[in-house]
């Protein structure tokens, strides 16, 4: 998956399953899959169907959502209409990127974005 593909996937979720004005993923699926269906010991994070739900606060009134692991991340922040994708070349960086570093980057962008 390229960074552009990952960003498109994030955009699809940001737009509640619509692509070019056409509903291609049911809105109900987007709602359920991004809902925090389980809670963890990681503070304000809930976990849905492969998406972490981050509650409001620095993320804005609708919170934020992120998916990924070890440097391959997608995040979207509804209140900012913001999608961020990060793809790390694992051959060059076997350890990837820590989730907290990616979330810190997203938070920095979110807090400073108008």
pLDDT at 103: 80
pLDDT at 56: 65
Q: Identify the segments of the chain with pLDDT beneath 70.
A: 39-45, 56, 90-96, 112-114
pLDDT at 4: 95
pLDDT at 63: 82
pLDDT at 75: 92
Rounded to a whole number of angstroms, the distance between the first and last alpha carbons of the chain is 30
Q: How do residues 19-49 score in pLDDT, each as one tens digit?
A: 999 999 999 999 888 877 776 666 666 777 8
Compute the distance between CA of residue 22 and CA of residue 43 in angstroms, rounded to an integer: 36
| Secondary structure class of 96 (helix, strand, coil) | coil
Compute the distance between CA of residue 9 and CA of residue 3 in angstroms, rounded to an integer: 10
Q: Where are the beta strands (DSSP E) in the chain?
A: 18-19, 22-23, 38-39, 45-47, 52-54, 64-69, 72-77, 82-86
Residues making up the chain, counted from first to last: 114
pLDDT at 113: 54
């Amino acid at each position: 998956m390229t960074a552009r593909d990952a960003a498109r996937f994030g955009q699809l979720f940001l737009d509640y399953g619509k692509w070019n004005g056409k509903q291609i993923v049911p809105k109900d699926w987007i709602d359920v899959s991004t809902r925090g269906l389980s809670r963890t010991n990681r503070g304000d994070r809930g976990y849905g169907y492969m998406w972490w739900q981050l509650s409001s606060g620095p993320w804005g009134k609708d919170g934020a959502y992120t998916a990924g692991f070890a440097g391959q991340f997608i995040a979207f922040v509804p209140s900012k209409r913001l999608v961020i994708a990060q793809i790390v070349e694992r051959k060059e960086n076997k350890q990837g990127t820590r989730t907290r570093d990616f979330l810190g980057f997203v938070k920095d962008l979110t807090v400073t974005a108008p």
